[in-house]
Structure 1
Amino acid sequence: MVDKVALIIGAGSGIGGAVAAEFASHGYTVCVVRRTDQAKLDELVKKISGDGGSARAYLLDATDDKSVERLVDEIEGQVGPIAFACYNLGANMGVRNIQNTRTDTFEKAFKLGAVGAFLLAKHVSKYMVPRAEGTIVFTSATASVRGNAGHHAHAAAMMARRGVAMSLNHELRSHGIHVCHVIVDGVVDSPDTLGKFFPEAFQSLKAKLDPRQGMLKPVDLAKTYWHLHTQSRTCWTFELDVSPWVENPWFNSPRASL
């Protein structure tokens, strides 16, 4: 058993992977989770291990209650106490007008956005509350506060995630649990985010903005997550809005809401 465990649900080449690497660099055993793609998880574990950290990989449907419960119980019983939990799954279904949005697509977004977030918090808080310590961070998006055209499924999902986080903040903080909602208000330099839905636009923006540091860098954002986890209880942050210093006209257009 180890002393400190960080659980990251939604660990890829972007924010999740960077958060895992950051916590591993501080001596945490990181448990990285994806729904699919064992090879990508193994690659992340290999990289963290190569840098001197400790990591374990798990495949999981984060919207399935029993699966999340089993994973949390397994980690707590076989790895160590979960001190930090991050829900980093996206819920972007792409730009779709309402007539072209299937009901099951809308429901899938909502499950990824809100149900999975609720399940992670439910099962990790079962262990955190008796210890009177722990951090739960929800990675969120501009869509949690603004619903752009064509993003009704994403906006509904992320606004619900914000509501879950807000309610849990009031419920759990008096038990020593720090709950934080991080609004990522910008283009993230990762093919797992914008590049998944708009690959051509992503490459164009990357080429244009990188020289001016106009994209959010996952490695820099991960440092912010570490800061949130180590904040004094006398000044906990509930909601944090992060964005790059360069305004991006494409991102602020009705086409995009990440």
Structure 2
Amino acid sequence: MEKPILLITGGGRGIGAATAKLAAQQGYRVVLNYRLDKASAQAALEEIKHLGGQAHSIQADICDADQVSTMFEHILKNWGPVSALVNNAGILETQNTFAQTDLNRWQRVFNTNVFGTFSCCQAAFKHMALSQGGKGGSIVNVSSLAAISGSPNEYVDYAASKAAVDTFSRGFAKEVADDGIRVNVVRPGFIHTDMHKDGGEAGRVDRLAPSIPMKRGGQPEEVAEAILWLLSDKASYTSGGFIDVAGGR
């Protein structure tokens, strides 16, 4: 019996890589998507294979809907239909107050975090939906607790993009529920990943740990556990749901 295929966008590092490794252990055939960081995707791929899992990598810029469509078709042709999708790829930019940001920055953030997620969900629908000849599937969109907090003085534009993902996910889940597709959201809080370095403060999680009820930052593996539960049949009656992995915040 062929293993179910899971596509993870931004799968080479952080939460994406942790999810890929756990998924492979749980019997998925994992496809790691990356945009530029081939080395990280390859490292995650080799680790999965070393542990006895099945995995592949594929390059595509999710900001480009044509590349997304081509990616799904390539996976179908070479490995089989995608039955699970984790929209994990996301970006943020250097910490700043919103007043100091500009349109170009907003567009970069929304192109990846929002429109990239939209494109992948639309492509997945065409491959998963019962009405399109598919066999159903499960989608988990990785949002952020910033969608609730607003992330003032740091990443208001990023927070707004994740709030858009939340609203989209709730509506999309209702549209596709009768087509055999479940759509859910995981909202990580302060997690130890390299993304904070991208924002200009590699030690951000440690600085903010005292403000977290559990007094520590989270690990990517803890987020991966929530993602894999939502993908699984154990969550078969859960759609349009949210799990906050945020240490009590």
TM-score by length of 2: 0.88
Q: CA deviation at 1:137?
A: 0.6
Q: 1:213, 1:84 → 2: CA distance?
A: 33
Q: 1:199, 1:148 → 2: CA distance?
A: 14
Letter in 1 for 2:203: A
Measured against aligned partners, the alpha-carbon deviations of 1:207-251 in whole angstroms (never above 9, x if no partner) come to 999xx8712111122122111112343344611112125x6xxxx
Compared CA separation, residues 46 and 127, structure 1 to 2 (3 A): same
Q: Which of these residues, 221, 224, 239, is aligned with residue 222 of structure 1?
A: 224
State how many pairs are aligned: 242
Q: CA deviation at 1:201?
A: 2.5
Q: 2:206, 2:162 → 1: CA distance?
A: 26
Measured against aligned partners, the alpha-carbon deviations of 1:22-62 in whole angstroms (never above 9, x if no partner) come to 11112211110111121111111111100101111112111
Q: CA deviation at 1:198?
A: 3.8
Report what 1:145 is aligned to: 148
Report what 1:256 is aligned to: none
Residues 1:125 and 2:129 are matched in the alignment? no
Compared CA separation, residues 200 and 54, structure 1 to 2 (3 A): closer
Q: How does 1:208-219 map to 2 (within 5 A)?
A: 214-219=216-221
Residues 1:188 and 2:191 are matched in the alignment? yes
CA contact (8 A) 2:32 2:56 kept: yes
Report what 1:252 is aligned to: none
Report what 1:251 is aligned to: none
Q: For structure 2, list consecutive stretches of 5 or more residues without a partner in the other structure.
A: none
Q: Percent identity?
A: 23
Q: 2:202, 2:123 → 1: CA distance?
A: 39
Q: 1:227, 1:221 → 2: CA distance?
A: 10
Q: CA deviation at 1:203?
A: 7.7
Q: Which moved more, 1:57-66 or 1:153-162?
A: 153-162
CA contact (8 A) 2:145 2:187 kept: yes
Compared CA separation, residues 99 and 206, structure 1 to 2 (3 A): closer
Q: 2:54, 2:90 → 1: CA distance?
A: 25
Report what 1:155 is aligned to: 159
Q: 2:204, 2:151 → 1: CA distance?
A: 19
Compared CA separation, residues 235 and 154, structure 1 to 2 (3 A): closer
Letter in 2 for 1:85: L
Q: 1:207, 1:100 → 2: CA distance?
A: 26
Q: 2:201, 2:159 → 1: CA distance?
A: 21
Compared CA separation, residues 82 and 197, structure 1 to 2 (3 A): same
CA contact (8 A) 1:3 1:81 kept: no
Q: 1:23, 1:95 → 2: CA distance?
A: 32
Compared CA separation, residues 116 and 170, structure 1 to 2 (3 A): same
Q: Which moved more, 1:117-126 or 1:84-93?
A: 84-93
Q: CA deviation at 1:10?
A: 0.9
Compared CA separation, residues 241 and 69, structure 1 to 2 (3 A): same
Letter in 2 for 1:216: G
Q: For structure 1, list consecutive stretches of 5 or more residues without a partner in the other structure.
A: 248-258
CA contact (8 A) 1:30 1:54 kept: yes
Q: 2:56, 2:219 → 1: CA distance?
A: 24
Residues 1:110 and 2:110 are matched in the alignment? yes
CA contact (8 A) 1:195 1:203 kept: no
Letter in 1 for 2:139: I
Report what 1:47 is aligned to: 47
CA contact (8 A) 2:75 2:81 kept: yes
Compared CA separation, residues 51 and 241, structure 1 to 2 (3 A): same
Measured against aligned partners, the alpha-carbon deviations of 1:69-90 in whole angstroms (never above 9, x if no partner) come to 0000110121112111011122
Measured against aligned partners, the alpha-carbon deviations of 1:172-196 in whole angstroms (never above 9, x if no partner) come to 1121111001111x211222x2233
TM-score by length of 1: 0.85
Report what 2:88 is aligned to: 88
SS in 2 for 1:234: coil
CA contact (8 A) 1:9 1:87 kept: yes
